[in-house]
């Protein structure tokens, strides 16, 4: 752990609050944690309230010789109530009372590790975060920068690591930023989830620019309502991105006006990205082919063209959002646009994973909401001469309201195979029934009613088997994930591997031969 020589005052804790807790501002800090089990002498414990109330564990932290406990006013009352051994008067307990302990932890972690790449950008939105962050990292690399991107699929670029949380907790986040800086990374792009923003995880990151891709229904298992979800996303601009930063915003999204007004009220430069006539970086047209697309766009009134090796219209929009962020971080626009032909799709995001012997292509995408599934189907349709087949499901123990909406979205495919995603603790057949209910009562897909195959491996095999030479198969929902959780147990499962195995089995190829189509 870093933090050599840092003091309580150096963590950004107000001097008045330290004095009220009987603490010396120049007291040295040995470490920080929100887990009482990790506390060692001289550490500061942050009592966070979530599923459990961290204040209930503060007495244990104090007995482990914590230097201080940072908590809310109600948390302080809990600590005093639970303090059950002979001790100094309650007011002498080293409790630093702050309005928001999570925010205090984020700022303290930034100060404690005290190292970040010089140029940082964050991207939020319901869909596209991973692709935009990856594209931005690739743009920077094309410009000769030592760059990295991190989020849902892990860390990629100059430093590589497997995936975890979209936005890590502040300690893990700032430890990673310090590691990247130590490895010579000068430019880094991060994903900012609504959970992470609502929990202040990204606060303390010194951002140069931030992007908003879109906002549609998602995470209603966590947020009170859609307005709460929108507010969490916009906190990236209202709280995290500093004055003078650049906000790259989707000009076609319904919340654009709200987001732009918020950004401008804080003195941020706004770059509007989209298809509308008021966009600063405007996508005016695209020609789609089997392995990618040719983009026509304008910047400051000048028409330009670039080809990218990524399938799906939304990937063109993601590429331009990444370009806007690079420009917002100080790069020359012409140099940025020159890097676009080198972009490649990120793992699990409209990723071409296999090709049948007859030429039919198979794609894996992370689309797991109604809006993202609708977008993915429409995007792949542009690259599909024949039938478009989709295999998808919905997760258990999550927003059940989106299941019929996903079924409705899947009607846009020619054939829909309803299968299991991550049922978690719920009965898989109940989830599938809710999806299929959303497909009823309207014009169904041209070929047939939905095909229900619970076993995801069998569903993928069936989809691959249906493919004619001009058809395409979209396997949606899990993307880069390498496990499937059923009845509380996570089993190894990779959509891409399953697709390649199905091609090998049906076409009589060695499985390695089935991978010849994995690169766009």
Distance CA 378, CA 430 (A): 27
Report helix angle 129-142 to 313-328, nearest 10: 60
Using an 8 Å Cβ cutoff, are 443 and 484 in contact? no
Using an 8 Å Cβ cutoff, are 280 and 273 in contact? yes
Using an 8 Å Cβ cutoff, are 364 and 348 in contact? yes
A 10 A CB-CB count for 425 gives 10
A 10 A CB-CB count for 476 gives 27
- The annotation places the binding site for ATP at 125-131
* Virtual torsion, Cα 413, 419, 425, 429, nearest 10 deg: 100
- The annotation places the binding site at 36, 125-131, 166-167, 193, 199, 201, 398, 421-424, 477, 481
Distance CA 447, CA 387 (A): 9
Distance CA 316, CA 340 (A): 10
Distance CA 297, CA 280 (A): 10
Pull the structure tokens for residue 34.
């929100």
Torsional sign, CA 335, 337, 338, 343: positive
Q: Is 399 helix (H, G, I), strand (E, B) or coil?
A: coil
A 10 A CB-CB count for 477 gives 28
**CB proximity list for 165: less than 8 A, separation 6 or greater:** 172, 193, 196
Pull the structure tokens for residue 165.
């949380």
Phi-psi region of 397 (alpha: psi -120 to 50; beta: other; left: phi over 0): left
Strand partners, 46: 70
Name residue, tokens 């059940």: 400
Pull the structure tokens for residue 28.
């040295």
Using an 8 Å Cβ cutoff, are 250 and 256 in contact? yes
Quick one: DSSP state of residue 421?
Answer: S
Please choose, from the candidates 239, 209, 27, 49, the residue with its C-alpha nearest in 3D space to the C-alpha of residue 117.
209
Q: Decide the pairing of beta strands 292-299 and 302-308.
A: antiparallel
Name residue, tokens 């991978």: 515
- The annotation places the binding site for meso-2,6-diaminopimelate at 398, 421-424, 477, 481
Strand partners, 95: 69
**CB proximity list for 337: less than 8 A, separation 6 or greater:** 299, 304, 306, 323
Distance CA 509, CA 355 (A): 11
Phi-psi region of 424 (alpha: psi -120 to 50; beta: other; left: phi over 0): left
């Amino acid at each position: 752990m870093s933090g050599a020589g840092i003091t309580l005052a150096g963590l950004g804790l107000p001097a008045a609050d330290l004095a009220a807790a009987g603490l010396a501002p120049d007291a040295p800090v040995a470490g920080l944690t929100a887990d009482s089990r990790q506390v060692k002498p001289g550490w500061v414990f942050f009592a966070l309230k979530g599923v459990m109330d961290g204040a209930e564990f503060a007495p244990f932290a104090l007995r482990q010789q914590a230097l201080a406990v940072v908590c809310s006013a109600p948390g302080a009352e809990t600590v005093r109530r639970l303090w059950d051994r002979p001790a100094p008067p309650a007011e002498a307990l080293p409790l630093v009372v702050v309005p928001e302990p999570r925010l205090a932890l984020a700022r303290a972690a930034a100060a404690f590790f005290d190292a970040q790449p010089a140029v940082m950008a964050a991207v939020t939105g319901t869909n596209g975060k991973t692709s935009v962050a990856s594209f931005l990292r690739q743009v920077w690399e094309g410009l000769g920068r030592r760059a990295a991107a991190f989020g849902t699929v892990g860390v990629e670029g100059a430093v590589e690591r497997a995936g975890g949380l979209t936005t890590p907790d502040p300690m893990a986040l700032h430890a990673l930023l310090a590691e990247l800086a130590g490895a010579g990374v000068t430019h880094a792009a991060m994903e900012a989830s609504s959970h992470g923003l609502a929990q202040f995880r990204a606060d303390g990151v010194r951002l140069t620019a931030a992007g908003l891709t879109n906002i549609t229904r998602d995470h209603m298992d966590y947020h009170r309502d859609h307005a709460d979800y929108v507010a969490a996303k916009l906190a990236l601009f209202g709280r995290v991105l500093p004055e003078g930063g650049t906000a790259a915003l989707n000009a076609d999204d319904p919340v654009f006006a709200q987001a732009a007004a918020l950004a401008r009220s804080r003195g941020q430069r706004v770059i509007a990205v989209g298809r509308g006539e008021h966009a600063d970086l405007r996508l005016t047209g695209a020609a789609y082919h089997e392995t990618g697309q040719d983009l026509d766009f304008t910047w400051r009134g000048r028409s330009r063209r670039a080809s990218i090796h990524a399938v799906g219209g939304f990937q063109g929009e993601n590429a331009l959002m990444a370009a806007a962020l690079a420009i917002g971080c100080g790069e020359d626009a012409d140099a940025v646009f020159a890097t676009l032909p080198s972009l490649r799709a990120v793992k699990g995001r409209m990723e071409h994973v296999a090709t049948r012997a007859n030429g039919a292509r198979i794609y894996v995408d992370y689309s797991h909401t109604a809006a993202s599934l609708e977008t993915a189907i429409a995007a792949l349709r542009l690259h599909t001469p024949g039938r478009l087949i989709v295999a998808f499901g919905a997760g258990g123990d999550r927003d059940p309201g989106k299941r019929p909406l996903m079924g409705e979205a899947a009607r846009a495919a020619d054939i829909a195979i309803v299968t299991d995603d991550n049922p978690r603790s719920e009965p898989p057949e109940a989830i599938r029934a809710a999806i299929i209910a959303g497909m009823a009562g309207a014009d169904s897909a041209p070929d047939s009613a939905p095909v229900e195959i619970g076993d995801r491996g069998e569903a993928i095999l069936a989809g691959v088997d249906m493919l004619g030479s001009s058809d395409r198969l979209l396997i949606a929902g899990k993307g880069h994930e390498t496990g499937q959780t059923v009845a509380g147990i996570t089993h190894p499962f990779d959509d891409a591997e399953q697709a390649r195995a199905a091609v090998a089995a049906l076409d009589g190829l060695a499985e390695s031969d089935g991978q010849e189509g994995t690169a766009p």
